[in-house]
Amino acid sequence: MLKVDNLKKYFPVERGVFRRVVDYVRAVDGISFEIKKGEVFALVGESGCGKTTTAKLIVGLFEPTDGKVFFHGKDISLLKRKELARKIQIIFQDPFASLNPRLTIGTIVGEAVKHRLEATDEKVKTKKIKKETRELLNRVGLPVNILNEYPHQFSGGQRQRIGIARALAMQPELIVADEPVSSLDISVQAQILNLLLDLRDSLELSYLLIAHDLNVVRFLADRVAVMYQGKIVERGSIRNVYEDPRHSYTKKLLEAIPTLETETIK
């Protein structure tokens, strides 16, 4: 369904009075992978390895330096912003900063619904938007009577649900989840992860999961690719990578997973 082909993103490093480009940061340096329908594909790696840049390239928030992204065989750089938004949506890491503080929940979610619905009869449309917005809120486990409330009135977990409802409003086929739970409390993380799994089954979604927490990846993903300094260094099914890591970086990552086993302190 999604095919990423030799994708590159270099950021220029400028120096001096005339801002001469002296070097490039190779944030994403020639990565390729595919995601099949209904699959959860995870990109893992430490911060700064280029995971989030990859996510932004796929949803069109950045232009790639080189390489292409295909969705159902179509080059996404040829799609209009709205066309792309209807196919691929993104859930952001920080549920506090990513919701406009001056808009109501009804507007944040409803605006996306409205944007998707083509212009029809205004009255019918307004009713339809409200109805769909309520359905979306219900789907992500939020009360439906919050249309006139503002983001600051909600907790982190609730806000992330709002972010998910907002993404679902465009009825995408693929959702890029950029660290969807890393800024949430552990207790809330599990709820959001379960919600993501439920949604995948009921709406036949595919996910590109961006994460650094290998426990989250194991819970959610089918296949995983390990990124290191802009390149994919290892990939495979969850089982293969977790039980038989080949690359030394992957081994280090796996060793760093906190577990409940404790060492006796002498």
Window 154-193: contact mask with another protein (x via CB under 8 A): ---------x--xx-xx-----------------------
Is residue 85 at the binding interface for another protein, with CB under 8 A as the rule?
A: yes
Q: Answer yes or no whether residue 100 interacts with another protein by CB under 8 A.
A: yes
Cβ nearer to another protein, comparing 2 with 241: 2
Asked if 65 contacts 265 with a C-beta cutoff of 8 angstroms, the reply is: no
90 binds another protein (CB under 8 A): yes
If one asks whether residue 134 binds another protein (CB under 8 A), the answer comes out as no
Q: Could you tell me which residues come within 8 angstroms of residue 13 by beta carbon, excluding any fewer than 6 positions away?
A: 21, 22, 23, 24, 25
Does 99 engage in binding with another protein (CB under 8 A)?
yes
Figure out which of the listed residues 5, 46, 111, 135 binds another protein, where binding follows CB under 8 A: 111
Task: Single out the residue of 2, 42, 76, 84 in contact with another protein (rule: CB under 8 A).
Answer: 84
Residue 98 or 250: which CB sits closer to another protein?
A: 98
- With binding defined as CB under 8 A, does residue 89 bind another protein? yes
Identified binder of another protein from the candidate list 2, 27, 57, 59, rule CB under 8 A: 59
Stretch that binds another protein, among 69-77, 90-98, 123-131, 179-187 (CB under 8 A): 90-98
Minimum distance between the CB of residue 87 and another protein, rounded to whole angstroms?
Answer: 10
Both tokens of 161, joined, read: 């649900």
Give CA–CA dist 43/50, Å, rounded.
Answer: 10
Burial of residue 29, with CB atoms counted within 10 A of its CB: 0-12 exposed, 13-18 middle, 19 or more buried: buried
Beta pairing class for 66-71 and 223-228: unpaired
- What torsion do the CA atoms of 258, 218, 248, 5 make, to the nearest 10 degrees? -140
Rounded CA gap, 20 and 15, in Å?
5
When asked if residue 112 is in the footprint of another protein (CB under 8 A), the reply is yes
Nearer to another protein, 18 or 255 (CB): 18
Kind and range of the H or E element at 126? helix 122-139
Provide the minimum distance between the beta carbon of 115 and another protein in the complex, in angstroms, as a whole number: 6
- Token pair, residue 25, equals 């940061």
Site size toward another protein (CB under 8 A) is: 30
Q: Mark 84-94 as b/e (b = at least 16 C-beta within 10 Å).
A: bbbbbbbbbbe
Helix, strand and coil percent figures for the chain, each rounded to 5: 40, 25, 35
**Which spans of this chain sit near another protein (rule: CB under 8 A)?**
59, 61, 81-86, 89-90, 92, 94, 97-104, 111-112, 115, 150, 152, 163, 166-167, 169-170
